[in-house]
Amino acid sequence: MSGEALHARPGRVRLALLGGAGGTALLLVGLLVLPEAREALAAGWMIGLLFWLGIALGALALLAVHALTGGRWGRALWLALAPAAASLPLFLLLILPLVVGLGRLYPWVAGPEHPERNIVAQLYLNLPAAALRGVAALAVWSVLGLLLVGLRPGGLRQMVAALGLIFHVVAVTLLGFDWVQSLEPHFHSTSFGMASLVLQLLACLAWATRLRPTPSEAAPDVGGMLLATVLGSLYLGFSQYLVIWYGNLPEKVEWYVLRQHWGWLSIELLSLLLSTLLPLVMLLPSAVRGSPAALAQLAPWVLGGVLLHQVWLLAPGAGFWALPVAALAVLAVGGLWFGLTYGLIAGRLAGVAEARS
C-alpha cells in the first residue's frame, strides 16, 4: 500500500481549498451582516456540515467494524477511509460558524420562559449543555479516529474499536436529537439515531467507492455492504414514518406535515429514488455488485440522494433560501474538508500506509 496513493492530485487539493475558503468567507460575511437571513444561512451551513461529517463518521464506524471482523473490503477501502476518519478534529472548527445563527435556527435556544419548553426540555436542551455534548462527542470521535488509523492491528486496536462503536451509537443518537430533531420543539423518534448511523455508512461506502476504485476481488463484499445499508436505511426510514403517522400523534405528525409543503416532499421523493430505490434495483444482480466500475458509477447518485435527505430534514423550517445556501455550504465545507483531508492529513498518514504495506 503506497503512501503516495493516499494523496489526491495537488491541483485538485488547491482548487478545493480555494473554493472552500471562498465559499466559507462568503457565508461568514452573510451571517455577520445579514441578521434577518441568519436562519437560512445557519440551516444551509448545518446541511453542508452534517453531510461531510456523516462521511467522516461513516469512515470511523467502518474502520472500527473492520478492526473487529477483518475482511478484504477494509483493506481495499483503507486509502479512502483512513484520511476521512483522521479528519474528524477539523469539524471542531467547522462547527464554529453555527454559533452566530443558533438562536434563529433552534427554538430551544430561547430563554427558560419560552412557552414551548417544559422543565425536562430546559434541563436537557439548553445552550451550555448542548454545546458541551457536541464538543465532547466531536473530541472523542477525533481521538477514536486517530487511534483506529494509527494503532497496529491487534488486541488494543480491537478494544478501541469495540468501545468506540458503543460510544458512536450513543453519541449519534444524542446528537441526532440535539442537531436535527430539536428543530421542532415536540418531535422525537427513538429510531432516528440508528437511521442516521446507517445513512452515514451508506454515504461513506459510496464516497469510498467513488474516490478510490475498489479492487475486483473486494468489489462483491463492498457491493453487498452497499446493498445492506440501502435496505437498512429504507427499513428504518419507513418504519419511523409508519409508527408516527399511524399513531396519529399531532405533535409528531407536525414534523412530516411541515416537510410536505413548498416542494419539500418532492425533494424527499427524489432522495428516496437516488439513495434507496435506484441502488436497490442496480445492486440486486450479483454481476453489478461485483463490478468496481458499476459501483463507482452508482456512488454519485447515492451521495446526491443522501444530501437531498439532509436538505429535507433541515431546510423546511428555514424556508426556500436555505436551498441555495445549502448548495454553497456543501461546496464550502466540502472544499475545505477534501483539501485538508486528502492533502495535508493524507500526507501525514503516508508513513502509516507504508507500515501497513
Q: What percent of the chain has pLDDT over 70?
A: 91
Which of 78-92, 142-156, 181-195 is predicted with the least confidence, judged by mean pLDDT?
181-195
Model confidence pLDDT, tens digit, residues 255-312:
777 888 778 989 999 999 999 999 999 999 999 888 999 999 999 999 999 999 999 9
151: number of Cβ within 10 Å: 17
Q: Which of 243, 269, 241 has the alpha carbon at shortest distance from 255?
A: 241
Question: Considering the entire predicted model, what is its pTM?
Answer: 0.92
Higher pLDDT, 32 or 87: 87
Whether 350 shows a pLDDT value over 90: the answer reads no
- The string over 229-267, giving b where at least 16 C-beta atoms fall within 10 Å of a residue's C-beta and e elsewhere, is bbebbbebbeebeeebeeeeeeebeebbeebeeeebeeb
Cα angle vertex 254, ends 172, 247, to 5°?
Answer: 85
Q: Which of 133, 168, 163 has the alpha carbon at shortest distance from 151?
A: 163
Backbone angles phi, psi at 296, to 5 degrees: -65, -35
Model confidence pLDDT, tens digit, residues 317-333:
888 888 999 999 999 99
Task: Look up residue 195 and give its three cell numbers.
Answer: 437511521
pLDDT in the model for residue 60: 97
pLDDT in the model for residue 112: 47
Decide: 83 and 341 in contact? Cβ < 8 Å. Answer: yes
Decide: 226 and 210 in contact? Cβ < 8 Å. Answer: no
